[in-house]
């Protein structure tokens, strides 16, 4: 899921992930591997936000899905794995 600026800010306040800017040189590679998403890095590795299946249409929420874990203590290399939904659900927007 590609997030807009407001959704990125909301998500970043709700979990420790920092969005990788769209103009970062890694984005084309990440998009080729994982699809068109807003990518986040945190202490655990690389993740994205996927829409939840919550029936309440007045609130848009997303689940943080882990795509890769840090493979070294210096957090300089990532080891991809099958997408793993986490227990983190972020509120992206509220309709008024």
Asked if 65 contacts 50 with a C-beta cutoff of 8 angstroms, the reply is: yes
The pLDDT score that the predictor gives to residue 39 is 98
Name the DSSP class of 21: P
With beta carbons less than 8 A apart as the criterion, state whether 47 and 38 touch: no
Mean pLDDT per 10-residue interval, the chain, length 96 residues:
93 94 95 96 96 67 96 92 95 72
Judge whether 61 and 52 are in contact, CB under 8 Å: yes
- How many domains is the chain built from? 1
| pLDDT value for 56 | 57
Range of the domain at 75: 5-94
| CB 85, CB 50: distance < 8 Å | yes
Burial class of residue 7 (count of CB atoms within 10 Å of its CB; 0-12, 13-18, 19+): buried
pLDDT at site 25: 96
């Amino acid at each position: 899921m590609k997030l807009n600026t407001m959704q990125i800010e909301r998500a970043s306040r709700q979990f420790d992930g920092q969005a990788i800017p769209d103009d970062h040189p890694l984005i084309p590679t990440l998009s080729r591997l994982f699809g068109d998403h807003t990518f986040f890095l945190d202490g655990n590795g690389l993740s994205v936000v996927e829409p939840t299946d919550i029936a309440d249409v007045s609130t848009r929420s997303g689940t943080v899905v882990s795509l890769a874990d840090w493979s070294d203590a210096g957090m300089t290399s990532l080891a991809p794995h099958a997408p793993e939904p986490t227990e983190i659900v972020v509120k992206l927007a509220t309709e008024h």
